[in-house]
Structure 1
Amino acid sequence: MAAKDRAERRLAAILAADVVGYSRLIEADEAATLALIKSLRREVIDPLLAEHHGRIVKLMGDGALVEFASVVDAVACAVAVQRAVAGRQAAVPAERRIVFRIGVNLGDVVVEGEDLLGDGVNVAARLEQLCEPGGVLVSGTAYDHLQGRLGLPLTFAGEQRVKNIARPIRTYRVELDGKAARRRSWWQGRRAAAALAALLVLAAAAAGGWWWGRAGGDAGAQGRASIAVLPFENLGGDAATGRLADGLTEDTITDLARFRDLDVIARNSTAAYKGKPVDVREVGRALGVRYVLEGSIQRQGARVRVTAQLIDAPTGTHVWSERWDRPTQDVFAVQSELAEAVAAKIGGYTGLIVAADRDLAKRKRPQDLNAYDLYLLGIEAKHRETKESVEEAIRLLKQSLAIDPNFARAWTGLSWSYQVLGGFVDETPELRQAAKDAAQQAVDLDPMDAEAHAALASALGREGNLVRTGAELGKALDLNPNSADILTFYADWASSFGQAERGAAAAEQAIRLNPNMPNWALSSYRYAFFMVGRYEDALRMLDRKPRDNYRRSDYVFRAAALGALGRVEEAHAAVAEALTRFPNLTVEGFAGAPEWSAAERQRLTDTMRRAGFPACAKQETLKIMPGLERLPECASS
């Protein structure tokens, strides 16, 4: 290829920024919004770009793309902009302030005149979309080149899968307040209780037989996942690093023990392997486990590097590996954060171990499937989130329970499946009762299962018993406060019992723990954000969910969020789409359901009216929902 035909490329640091809620601000007061943006650009942003040698590539109405030769300059400029913009607007009412999201990436770009194209630009734009309002989110490549030069902590925010980028993107959040993120952001007081609960789980298991044995046990135990956490290796050799390694090992075991899908070997059974070369396959045979987690820790000056890898013991193959680099200003925060990250990645029914077990179940002949295999396949079918797949999940979970009627996890899965099915059909009292009965059976069989309590909480909430919903979710969080799944379930109901802000915080924490969020979780997050008035964030969650997986509530919340933002034409189109699929949808029929609190009902009523939904419930709805909260104009009809 001739040189003139080859695209010009270069390595560049790209900063992408946009204004949060731009459409809402413009709709409320176009002239004032544009004047404020121009003022901020002239007096704050342009001088900072010049100071840090940034070149504006393009400007959009609500954002900008800027090129830097140095990633340190790019991130330092992003931080300076966020601080200066916030400081300049101290006297501006909160609802009128200009707030930016900023993403920074270091990558290869294609040069076309004054414009830049390619993955380097695309990743920066995606990071900006994922960034929290007022924050700065940087890619792994940018983080690797910063190497402590920024002077601010950066917290790992997970591997993100983004649109049109095949590979997952490592992301890091710049802590603008200068403080490293601590582990328990909003449920901190629960850790001691949760640790005690984990010990009680093990004690109860030994006494009562709830904890399935590795050498046999009931039918439900066949094929059940089991794991041993080997002592993390101290590569530095010093005593301080050794203490950090021991603490990380212990924290990881404690966190994994809270996931009821796993049998976790006690630490005293693995302590003998400390400091010794091991054959993982031999460890698996000796301890009777399917998976082995091993790792190492090394300190270099003011930083610590931790590696972890999950290994399939019978074959010795690697299932997953990860590396973390962190500053060591607070070694206990580092220890807790990393243990939480490992547990969240591999534990729970959205984790790697269950996924690996599910793949094995798929390779079995139908006649060889046991209760655990059928449970895994049923949960996978439920997660596909179509009416047909949920009906398949109910069939598979019933088959699992026919083999082992005491399999608590299958009862939990059955309850969730009934509840999800209610989102695709007109939910009847019989369907709600079946969901509640299945969840109650799960709790009765295994009172220490956090997810069983969460399923019961949701089922109780659907019939309007919000006091017990809050109590059951409190139990679930006590038992497993760092499960992305449990945090998601809490986020889905927190507003109903007056904890809307905590619900949004739980959603954010769940997303950090599991950035590759499953489709079913997106509806919970959009609810949590909607109920605190973060309509743009609610729509962002819905935009990530395939239309084939939309339930009735997804259609409603999409239209209502658009209505709240004043996007009238889009809201009317969303209402028409919802009514095509659910002809009986009305403001009264949806917002008047017993699961909503008074505050939620008012927010839904207002936004659904603005979107253009018909007001009064139809007679068919009134027959199956006799406790409906009537609207004044509909009560006499």
Structure 2
Amino acid sequence: MTTDRVTRRLAAILAIDMVGYSRHMEADETGTISRQRTHRQELIDPILHEHHGRIVKTTGDGLLVEFVSVVDALESAVRIQRAIAKAEASLPKERRMQYRAGINLGDIVIDGDDIFGDGVNLAARLEGLADPGGISITASVFEQVVGKLDLAFDDMGEREVKNIRKPVRVYQVRLEIMPENRSASPRGVPEASGKPSIAVLPFQDMSPEMDHEYFADGIAEDIITELSRNHAFFVTARNSSFTYKGKAVDVKKTAGELGVRYLLEGSVRKGGKRIRITAQLIDAATSNHVWAERYDRELNDIFAVQDEITASIVGVVAPELIGAEMQRARRALCASSEIRRSGA
């Protein structure tokens, strides 16, 4: 007895679809087809080719694309959305073409040049959950890309998806091209604007008696308040960052969930009449420490110590944060110049 063996593989699947295709066709069939063809030839297909995407199938208004790399899948989707937005920007809003995109990383079934399975179906369902001009991804995609690309994400929670048995955790990529009426982030994180962003996590009480939690919380809260006075960067609200209190923190994942690039974390430890406070500023994209310091103080006046330590930390973190961003910008500029020289 013989049975046909099903061929499977793990792949990143991008589903992309035009918003309001029927409306555009009804208003201007010839013009819609022409602009869509231009989008494909000049923007979409070259970007997919550059990121090694294989177009599996096309419909009148969409594409299904397979990638070996999930980073390539997301980066190509981001570039496509930005390129389309730029190309359509000069047109009246009602005439602009927009696309929704969904990306899933999952097991797929291979049949010749075609692909099937829940991994494919979920990508198509995610596309429908995205805002016009937006990108929705699954948790499996988020876990692989967070910290690898200079992007922020909004956790949209678990969603019921048609024909998928279990609820699916969905994230939306935060893009500056998103419409003004897009749904707000559940955590209330400010929209990306090019400013560096930081979250101050709750400081850990590492005292033997664990009786200085109020002091640790006070330090973190005061740092948030003082950093927020500096309009050169965004500071995540206390209500968002304090949801991680008492939890083991994965730097890249936490930064992605909060939509920031930098994390400030620390600890408090008391011994006798002395107290030790440590603080570390971390670049979540690389997991490298930008700055770290230890403060030892006599605990005679707890509020005076709290004020002094807060002022010391803020006084160092603000310029360190700006300096780190300047160095990152220089590296990006050097890399861009090198690419241009090598392509010349």
TM-score higher than 0.5: yes
Contact 2:189 2:258 in 1 (8 A): no
Residues 266-324 of structure 1 show CA distances to partners (whole Å, capped at 9, x for unaligned) of xxxxxxxxxxxxxxxxxxxxxxxxxxx9973344556538xxxxxxxxxxxxxxxxxx9
Pick the structure with more strand per residue.
2
Aligned counterparts of 1:165 and 1:300: Cα–Cα separation in 2: 29
SS in 2 for 1:296: coil
SS in 1 for 2:246: strand
Say if 2:104 is the partner of 1:105: yes
> 2:130 matched to which residue of 1?
131
Say if 2:31 is the partner of 1:32: yes
Q: 1:15 to 1:93 in 2, by over 3 A?
A: same
> 1:160 matched to which residue of 2?
159
Deviation at 1:152, TM superposition (A): 0.5
Deviation at 1:69, TM superposition (A): 0.3
Say if 2:295 is the partner of 1:296: no
> 2:169 matched to which residue of 1?
170
Q: Which entry has the higher C-alpha Rg, 1 or 2?
A: 1
> 1:21 matched to which residue of 2?
20
Aligned counterparts of 2:10 and 2:156: Cα–Cα separation in 1: 24
- Report the RMSD for the aligned CA atoms in angstroms: 3.8
SS in 2 for 1:172: strand
Q: How does 1:397-416 map to 2 (within 5 A)?
A: none
Residues 382-406 of structure 1 show CA distances to partners (whole Å, capped at 9, x for unaligned) of xxxxxxxxxxxxxxxxxxxxxxxxx
Aligned counterparts of 1:175 and 1:251: Cα–Cα separation in 2: 20
Aligned counterparts of 1:45 and 1:245: Cα–Cα separation in 2: 49
Deviation at 1:145, TM superposition (A): 1.0
> 1:6 matched to which residue of 2?
5
Q: How does 1:619-630 map to 2 (within 5 A)?
A: none
> 1:260 matched to which residue of 2?
none
Say if 2:61 is the partner of 1:62: yes
- Where in structure 2 are there 5+ consecutive unaligned residues? 179-183, 191-200, 208-212, 222-235, 265-344
Aligned counterparts of 1:159 and 1:108: Cα–Cα separation in 2: 20
Residues 378-437 of structure 1 show CA distances to partners (whole Å, capped at 9, x for unaligned) of xxxxxxxxxxxxxxxxxxxxxxxxxxxxxxxxxxxxxxxxxxxxxxxxxxxxxxxxxxxx
Contact 2:156 2:186 in 1 (8 A): no
SS in 2 for 1:132: coil
Aligned counterparts of 1:242 and 1:178: Cα–Cα separation in 2: 39
Contact 1:152 1:175 in 2 (8 A): yes
Aligned counterparts of 2:164 and 2:138: Cα–Cα separation in 1: 13
Aligned counterparts of 2:55 and 2:218: Cα–Cα separation in 1: 45
Residues 313-360 of structure 1 show CA distances to partners (whole Å, capped at 9, x for unaligned) of xxxxxxxxxxx954554779xxxxxxxxxxxxxxxxxxxxxxxxxxxx
> 1:72 matched to which residue of 2?
71
> 1:149 matched to which residue of 2?
148
Q: How does 1:512-591 map to 2 (within 5 A)?
A: none
Q: 1:331 to 1:59 in 2, by over 3 A?
A: same
Contact 2:156 2:185 in 1 (8 A): no
Identity percentage of aligned residues: 43
Q: TM-score, normalised by structure 1?
A: 0.32
Q: 1:303 to 1:102 in 2, by over 3 A?
A: closer
Contact 2:153 2:257 in 1 (8 A): no
Q: 1:326 to 1:298 in 2, by over 3 A?
A: farther
Q: Which amino acid aligns with 1:171?
A: V
SS in 2 for 1:174: strand
Aligned counterparts of 1:237 and 1:304: Cα–Cα separation in 2: 21
Deviation at 1:91, TM superposition (A): 1.9
Contact 1:9 1:109 in 2 (8 A): yes
Q: 1:235 to 1:96 in 2, by over 3 A?
A: same
Deviation at 1:124, TM superposition (A): 0.3
Contact 2:143 2:253 in 1 (8 A): no
Deviation at 1:176, TM superposition (A): 1.5
Aligned counterparts of 1:59 and 1:90: Cα–Cα separation in 2: 25
SS in 2 for 1:79: helix
Deviation at 1:237, TM superposition (A): 5.3
> 2:113 matched to which residue of 1?
114
SS in 1 for 2:91: coil
Q: 1:245 to 1:161 in 2, by over 3 A?
A: farther
SS in 2 for 1:149: coil
Aligned counterparts of 2:263 and 2:185: Cα–Cα separation in 1: 12
SS in 2 for 1:98: coil
Q: 1:49 to 1:64 in 2, by over 3 A?
A: same
Tell me the number of residue pairs that the alignment of Structure 1 and Structure 2 aligns: 227
Aligned counterparts of 2:70 and 2:18: Cα–Cα separation in 1: 22
Pick the structure with more helix per residue.
1
Deviation at 1:134, TM superposition (A): 0.2
Residues 529-579 of structure 1 show CA distances to partners (whole Å, capped at 9, x for unaligned) of xxxxxxxxxxxxxxxxxxxxxxxxxxxxxxxxxxxxxxxxxxxxxxxxxxx
Deviation at 1:38, TM superposition (A): 0.2
Contact 2:14 2:101 in 1 (8 A): yes
- Where in structure 1 are there 5+ consecutive unaligned residues? 187-231, 253-292, 306-323, 333-637
Contact 1:234 1:296 in 2 (8 A): no
Q: How does 1:485-524 map to 2 (within 5 A)?
A: none
Deviation at 1:62, TM superposition (A): 1.0
Contact 1:40 1:85 in 2 (8 A): yes
Q: TM-score, normalised by structure 2?
A: 0.58
Q: How does 1:184-199 map to 2 (within 5 A)?
A: 184=188
Contact 1:16 1:125 in 2 (8 A): yes
Deviation at 1:45, TM superposition (A): 0.5
Aligned counterparts of 1:295 and 1:183: Cα–Cα separation in 2: 15
Contact 1:235 1:298 in 2 (8 A): no
Aligned counterparts of 1:244 and 1:183: Cα–Cα separation in 2: 21
> 2:42 matched to which residue of 1?
43
Aligned counterparts of 1:136 and 1:245: Cα–Cα separation in 2: 37
